[in-house]
Amino acid sequence: MGTVAEQFIEVLRQAGVERVYGVVGDSLNPVVDAIRKTGGIEWVHVRNEEAGAFAAAAEAQVTGRLAVCAGSCGPGNTHLVQGLYDAHRSGAPVLALASHISSAQIGTGFFQETHPDRQFVDCSGYCEMIGSAEQMPRVLRIAVQHAIGHSGVAVVVLPGDVADIPAAHGTGTHDFLTRQGTVQPPSDQVAELATALNSAEKVMLFCGAGVRRAHEEVMSLAARTLAPVGHALRGKEWIQYDNPYDVGMSGLLGYGACYDAMQEADLVVLLGTDFPYDDFLPGKRTVQIDHDPAQLGRRTPLELAVHGDIRETLLAALPQVAQKTDRRYLDKMLSKHVKTLDNVVNAYTRDIEHHTPIHPEYVASVVDELAADDAVFTVDTGMCNVWAARYLTPNGRRRVIGSFKHGSMANALPHAIGAQLADRGRQVVSLSGDGGLGMLMGELLTARMYDLPIKIVVFNNSSLGMVKLEMLVDGLPDFGTDVTPVDYAAIAAAMGLGSVRVEKPTQVREALATAFAAPGPYLVDVVTDPDVLSMPPRITAKQVKGFALGAGKVVLAGGVGRMIDMARANLRNIPRP
C-alpha cells in the first residue's frame, strides 16, 4: 500500500490535482518524494511558499478545480499564510499541506515548532491534523471536499514522521463532488422582488462576481426595468461586456456614473456582491440577492433579502416584472457616464507623445488594446488595480485576477505563474507595481525555470502610489512612500528573461508588441509618472480638506515642485458635477 505520503498523493490525483506548489525540505521530504514517484502530478518549485499559495489560488480561479500548495514545518508554514488568506477570501478551492515537526516532539518547543493546526484556522474553512495512518485517506478526502464544496481553503497538517510510515488502509476510489446544485429562491421572495421592482420608478442594478453565469438574465432585467447597471471590481469581468446599460464601477477605485446612479435610484438591487464599502451604498431602498445567506444584509440595511442563485432568481422573477417605459433616469445616467469617462478615464490616453514620465493610464490602455481576447490579467494591489479597473476591457472570455478582497501586495507575479501553469497556451499578463514586484521578485526565477510565457508589465514609478494617496487624503505629507529607482529590466535580463526598459511614451506600443509575441517570459519595465494619483468617484469634504492639508504640508517641507506636477497630472482626474 506504500506510505501515508504516497497515499496522500494518490488521493490528490483522484481529485484531479496536477501539481503542488512549494519549497522542498525537512518534514515535507516524504511527500515530495511521493510526487517524484507518481505519474501525472508535478512539484512546482517556487521561491517562497507565499507565492506558491498565490499561484494555487490563481490556478483554482482559472480552472474552477482544486489546486494545492505545501509548506514545510515552521517557516515554510508561516510563509503560506498570506497567500492562503487571499485564496480563502477570493473563494478559490485550495488545499494546503502544512507539514509539521516529528509527532514525538510536538509540544516540546522543538526546532521550527509552530502550531499549524491553530495557525491556519482563520484563513481556512477546514483545518485538521493527521496524527496517525489510520486517519488516512478519510481526513484528506474530507479536506478536499471542504475546499471544493465551500470554494475556499482547507488545510491538512501532517507531521513528517507520520508521512513516512506505512499506510494503514487501502486508498480505494472515491467520487469527489465537483459540480454543485443551484439555490432556488423561495417563491414568496420572488413575488416580493417583482413587486418591489414594479413599484420603483428608478431601479439600479449593482453586480458582483456572483453574476458570473447570469449575464443574459441581468441584461433582460435591465431592459425590463430600464435600469443602469453598475459593478464592483470583482463583477467587472462578468457584467461590463455587451452591456448597453453600463454606468461603471463604484468604490475607492470606481469611475463613471455608478455612484450617482445608486444614490438617485428609488431601488438598488445588489446582485451577487459582498461590496464592503458601505459609505458608497445608499443605506436604504436596497434589495439584495445572493446564494450565500450569510452575506445578506451584512453591508447595508435591506428592504428585502432574497436567498437564491442569481440566474435562477432572475429567471423566476422576470415573468412577473412589468416593462417600464420612462427612460429619463436611465438616459440621464448613461449621458453622465459618458461625460465622466471623457473627463476622467481617457484623460491620459490622448496627446501623450511628449509626456514624460509616462502616464500609467496610457500604458494600461495599450496593454488592453494589444492583449489577446482570452488573456488572463493578474493585477497587483494598489494603483495597478485602478488602471486595470479603468482600462482593461472585458468580453466574457478575459479574466482579471487580483487580491481584491484581501488586498495583499505582490500577488500579480505569483498569480500569473499559477494561471500560466494551468494553461501554457493562454496569454497571461501580469500588471505589476514596482513595489509588489520588489517584494516577491524571486518568482521571476520560477517563471524562467519553467519557461512560462508570462508577460510582466511593470508600472515603475519608484513609489507606493496608493499609500501616498491614502496619506494625502488623511491630511498627512507622503513619507516613506518613495524608493530608490531600480532598473527591473536589467534584473530580469540577468535572470535570463527577455526584457526591455521603456522611458518614452513613443516606445510603449512597440515594446509591448514585442513582449506579447515572445515565446517565453518577458518583462517590460515602464518608467511611469509617480505623481499620477487616482481620484474616487465620490470625494468627501473631509477628504478634500485632508488632501489640501497634506499638500500644504508637502509645500512647507520644500516640495513645491512636486505638488505643482501632481496638480497638473491630476487636473482632469477630479470628477466634476
What does the pLDDT look like over 466-519, one tens digit per residue?
A: 777 677 667 778 788 888 899 999 999 999 999 999 999 999 999 999 999 999
Q: What is the DSSP letter of 334?
A: H
Residue 174 domain-assigned? Answer: no
Question: Which of 418, 422, 533 has the alpha carbon at shortest distance from 471?
Answer: 533
492 to 163, 188, 381, 498, 526: CA distances (angstroms): 38, 60, 21, 7, 13
DSSP state, 154?
Answer: E
105 DSSP assignment? G
160 and 218 fall within a common domain: no
164, 179, 200 - which closes a domain = 164
Residue 575 forms part of a structural domain: no
What is the Cα–Cα distance from 142 to 126, expressed in whole angstroms? 9
On whether both 463 and 555 belong to a single domain, the answer is yes
Q: CB within 8 A of 138, min separation 6: which ones?
A: none
Query: What CATH number should be reported for the domain holding residue 326?
Result: 3.40.50.1220
Residues 239, 366 share a domain: no
Spell 178-216 as b/e; 16+ CB within 10 A means b. eeeeeeebeeebbebbbebbeebebbbbbbbbbbbebbe
Burial class (CB in 10 A: 0-12, 13-18, 19+), 530: buried
Q: Which three cell numbers stand for residue 483?
A: 524608493
Those residues with Cβ within 8 angstroms of residue 314's Cβ, 6 or more apart along the chain or in another chain: 214, 217, 218, 220, 221
Specify whether 425 is located in the same domain as 542: yes
- Cβ(288)–Cβ(270) under 8 Å? yes
Report, in angstroms and rounded to the nearest whole number, the Rg of the chain calculated over CA atoms.
25
Question: Which CA distances in Å does 182 have to 213, 234, 307?
Answer: 11, 21, 11
Query: Are residues 392 and 501 located together in one domain of the fold?
Result: yes
CA distance 231 to 501: 35
**Integer Cα distance of 227 and 206 in angstroms:** 10
Whether residue 220 is found in the same domain as residue 309: yes
Q: Which of 285, 311, 338 is at the close of a domain?
A: 338
Return the H-helix or E-strand segment holding 459.
strand 455-460
Cell numbers describing residue 433: 507595481
Q: Is 289 found in the same domain as 360?
A: no
What nine digits make up the cell of 85? 488568506
- Measure Cα distances from 38 to 9, 13, 79, 310, 467 in Å: 8, 9, 26, 41, 46
Distance of alpha carbon 428 from alpha carbon 407, whole angstroms: 21
Write phi, then psi, for 42 (nearest 5 degrees). Answer: -125, 155
Angstrom distance (rounded) from CA 34 to CA 112: 23
Q: Are residues 141 and 212 in the same domain?
A: no
The answer to whether 55 touches 430, Cβ cutoff 8 Å, is: no
Q: Work out whether strand 246-249 and strand 255-256 pair parallel, antiparallel, or are unpaired.
A: antiparallel
Same domain assignment for residues 375 and 504: yes
Both 503 and 354 in one domain: the answer is: yes
169 located within any domain: no
Tell me, yes or no, whether 561 and 468 share the same domain.
yes
Type of residue at 558 = G
CB 260 within 8 A of CB 336: yes
Interatomic CA distance for residues 429 and 562, integer angstroms: 32
Q: What is the pLDDT along the chain (577 residues), one digit of tens a residue?
A: 799 999 999 999 999 999 999 999 989 999 999 999 999 999 999 999 999 999 999 999 999 999 999 999 999 999 999 999 999 999 999 999 999 999 999 999 999 999 999 999 999 999 999 999 999 999 999 999 999 999 999 999 999 999 999 999 999 999 887 778 899 999 999 999 999 999 999 999 999 999 999 999 999 999 999 999 999 999 999 999 889 899 888 887 777 789 999 999 999 999 999 999 888 899 999 999 999 999 999 999 999 999 999 999 999 999 999 999 999 999 999 888 877 776 654 555 556 666 788 988 889 889 999 999 999 999 999 889 888 888 888 899 999 999 999 999 999 999 999 999 999 999 999 999 999 999 999 999 999 999 999 999 999 998 877 777 677 667 778 788 888 899 999 999 999 999 999 999 999 999 999 999 999 999 999 999 887 665 555 656 565 444 444 443 333 333 323 322 443 443 344 344 4
Strand, coil or helix: 135: helix
Identify whether the C-beta of residue 158 lies closer than 8 Å to the C-beta of residue 30.
no
Within 13 Å of residue 266, how many CA atoms lie on the same side as its CB?
13
39-59 b/e (C-beta count within 10 Å ≥ 16 → b) = eebebbebbbbbbbbbbbbbb
DSSP, residue by residue, 20-83: EEE---GGGHHHHHHHHTSTT-EEEE-SSHHHHHHHHHHHHHHHSS-EEEEE-TTHHHHHHHHH
Return contacts of 29-37, CB within 8 angstroms, 24+ apart. 29/160, 30/3, 30/4, 30/5, 30/160, 30/163, 30/164, 31/5, 31/70, 31/97, 31/99, 31/158, 31/163, 33/5, 34/2, 34/3, 34/5, 34/6, 34/8, 34/9, 35/9, 37/6
Expressed as residue numbers, the domain containing 262 is 187-338
Please give the pLDDT value at position 535: 55
Residues with Cβ within 8 Å of 295's Cβ and at least 6 positions away in sequence, in order, are: 274, 288
Within this chain, do residues 399 and 545 fall inside the same structural domain, yes or no?
A: yes
Indicate whether 577 belongs to any domain: no
Label residue 222 left, alpha or beta by phi (over 0 means left) and psi (-120 to 50 means alpha).
alpha
Domain containing residue 409: CATH number:
3.40.50.970
The answer to the question of residue 177 being in a domain is no
Asked whether residue 173 is assigned to any structural domain, the reply reads no
555, part of any domain: yes
In a domain, 176, yes or no: no
If one counts the domains in the chain, the total is 3
